[in-house]
């Protein structure tokens, strides 16, 4: 079994081409169920944000798994494979884990070092765990990725300043309006980015308390209470639009929420004030024709990316330090995984020696019959110690060489010298995982 990732992101396609491939948070369970039902995919995590959709999987056959994931993306997007397949990227084994670590560290984001992506990685992992789609291999990789992301942000300054698109939206709005003092912000949609934008507006000096609109009223009320903001009923949006100076739309709807007509109506009721509209949603939730409405300035993801790109000079200086963290954690991950591959061989070697020890004591049982309990216990202790001392050095050397050509040679020598191979009726070749389903259980014990 190996880890693979297939993805598409803001670097490989324009945003409009990425939109159909986005898996909204409320659809993650459905997507995971689809992927887990495919023949060559065992464990699965789907990381889908406004800037990327990536499927991480433990796979039994690389080419079969790649086909499974591509077929899923075709079905999900409703697009012909030739429309996007050339823009997909894929990584395998260590390269897949390295990519995941870079994503969590913020090195692969549109906004270098952004904080939001770490939360998105955590959320994707948690949903997959809840749905029973994650087992040991992806579990270890994602937990390590979260540690990488935390180290990158605490040990370096790569996240200093405006690194998230939500905070960039606030900064760009402030620039467009000449300041936020006395301005009224409205945030529509309270997913991760919407909540971050609402908190950013609450931190803006002099801005009015933020107005919040979301289809889930309970969540809206809770956040409004925490921020000192107000709740806007969904059917009261037209009035709220006419009161706002800046509107940030972060909805997960697959169609435009704000039309040119609705925003033209809003500004007509307050012609003396400009309105800034920021579309943080993918798919886009604001009609492109809003740009033609007098009195409205529309900012989209491309505007935000350009704004952030102009401010990342200082953070680029931190990239080498973050790269070292990623390399350090990748080496640690590799060492742990290599040790896991020899663990079954080491275990079987000790089992084999213990079987011999017990067999010899059993054969001598008649001669030892005259011994009392304390003497019998001493014999047990001595023989166990002898076996442990004999196996100690070989075990240490085997573990130390794990994952190297020398380790492979040592492992094979152990199998040959001690008769531990699969040909002797002792189960699978040691140092290797059992074949899928060999124990009669599911393909991974924590899965489905």
Tell me the CATH number at 40.
3.30.460.30
Q: What is the pLDDT of residue 67?
A: 92
**With contact defined as beta carbons under 8 Å apart, do 87 and 13 qualify?**
yes
Q: What is the pLDDT of residue 205?
A: 83
Residue 29 within a domain: yes
Residue 185 within a domain: yes
**With contact defined as beta carbons under 8 Å apart, do 35 and 130 qualify?**
no
**Cα–Cα nearest to 343, from 136, 132, 174, 120:** 136
Phi-psi region of 377 (alpha: psi -120 to 50; beta: other; left: phi over 0): alpha
Phi-psi region of 383 (alpha: psi -120 to 50; beta: other; left: phi over 0): alpha
Q: What is the pLDDT of residue 163?
A: 55
pLDDT per residue over 234-282, tens digit each?
Answer: 889 999 999 999 999 988 777 788 999 999 999 999 888 999 999 988 7
Q: How far apart are CA 377 and CA 371, in angstroms?
A: 10
Q: What is the pLDDT of residue 167?
A: 81
Same domain, 155 and 71: yes
List CB contacts of 25: < 8 A, sequence separation 6 or more: 123, 127, 191, 252
Q: What is the pLDDT of residue 289?
A: 93
Phi-psi region of 350 (alpha: psi -120 to 50; beta: other; left: phi over 0): alpha
Boundary (domain end) residue, out of 125, 159, 193: 159
The low-confidence residues of the chain, meaning pLDDT below 50, are 422-448
Same domain, 147 and 182: no
Same domain, 8 and 144: yes
Domain enclosing residue 38, as ranges: 2-159
Boundary (domain end) residue, out of 126, 141, 159: 159
What residues does 59 pair with on adjacent strands?
2, 41
Same domain, 199 and 133: no
**With contact defined as beta carbons under 8 Å apart, do 62 and 92 qualify?**
yes
* Domains of the chain: total: 3
Same domain, 136 and 11: yes
The CATH number that applies at residue 172 is: 3.40.50.720
Same domain, 54 and 13: yes
> Is 50 annotated in the active site?
yes
Residue 331 within a domain: no
Same domain, 358 and 420: yes
Boundary (domain end) residue, out of 112, 134, 159: 159
Give alpha helix (H) positions in 112-191.
Answer: 116-130, 136-155, 165-177
Residue 432 within a domain: no
Same domain, 50 and 178: no
Q: How far apart are CA 108 and CA 203, in angstroms?
A: 27
Radius of gyration of the chain (CA): 29
Residue 229 within a domain: yes
Same domain, 63 and 192: no
Among 3, 47, 50, 69, the one annotated catalytic? 50
Q: What is the pLDDT of residue 429?
A: 36
Same domain, 153 and 11: yes
How much is the mean pLDDT over the chain?
85
Q: What is the pLDDT of residue 315?
A: 82
């Amino acid at each position: 079994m190996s880890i693979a990732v297939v993805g598409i992101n803001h670097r490989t396609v324009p945003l409009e081409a990425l939109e159909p491939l986005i898996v909204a948070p409320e659809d993650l369970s459905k997507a995971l169920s689809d992927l887990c039902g495919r023949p060559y995919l065992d464990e699965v995590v789907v990381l889908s944000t406004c800037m990327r959709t990536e499927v991480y999987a433990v796979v039994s056959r690389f080419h079969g798994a790649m086909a499974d994931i591509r077929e899923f993306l075709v079905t999900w997007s409703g697009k012909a494979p030739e429309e996007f397949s050339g823009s997909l990227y894929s990584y395998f084994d260590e390269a897949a884990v390295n990519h995941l670590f870079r994503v969590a560290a913020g090195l692969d984001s549109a906004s270098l070092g952004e904080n939001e992506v770490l939360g998105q990685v955590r959320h994707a992992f948690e949903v997959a765990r809840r749905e029973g789609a994650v087992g040991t291999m992806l579990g270890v990789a994602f937990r390590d990725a979260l540690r990488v992301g935390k180290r990158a942000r605490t040990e370096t300054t790569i996240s200093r300043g405006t690194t998230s698109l939500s905070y960039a939206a606030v900064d760009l709005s402030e620039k467009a309006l000449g300041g936020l003092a006395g301005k009224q912000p409205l945030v529509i949609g309270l997913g991760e980015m919407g909540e971050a934008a609402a908190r950013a507006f609450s931190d803006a000096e002099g801005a009015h308390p933020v107005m919040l609109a979301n289809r889930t009223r309970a969540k809206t009320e809770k956040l409004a209470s925490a921020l000192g903001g107000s709740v806007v009923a969904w059917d009261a949006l037209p009035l709220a639009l006419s009161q706002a100076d800046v509107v940030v739309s972060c909805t997960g709807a697959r169609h435009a929420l704000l039309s040119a007509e609705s925003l033209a109506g809003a500004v007509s009721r307050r012609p003396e004030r400009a309105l800034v509209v920021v579309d943080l949603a993918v798919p886009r939730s604001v009609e492109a024709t809003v740009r033609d409405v007098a009195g409205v300035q529309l900012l989209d993801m491309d505007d935000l990316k350009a704004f952030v790109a102009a401010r990342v000079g200082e953070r680029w200086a931190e990239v080498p330090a973050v790269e070292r963290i990623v390399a350090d954690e990748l080496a640690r991950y590799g060492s742990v995984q290599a040790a896991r591959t020899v663990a079954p061989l080491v275990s079987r070697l000790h089992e084999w020696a213990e079987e011999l020890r017990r067999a010899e004591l059993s054969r001598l049982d008649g001669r030892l019959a005259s011994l009392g309990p304390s003497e019998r216990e001493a014999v047990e202790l001595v023989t166990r110690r002898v076996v442990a001392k004999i196996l100690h050095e070989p075990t240490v050397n085997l573990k130390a060489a794990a994952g190297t050509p020398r380790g492979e040679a040592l492992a094979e020598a152990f199998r040959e010298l001690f008769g531990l191979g699969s040909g002797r009726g002792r189960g699978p070749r040691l140092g290797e995982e059992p074949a899928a389903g060999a124990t009669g259980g599911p393909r991974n014990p924590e899965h489905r």
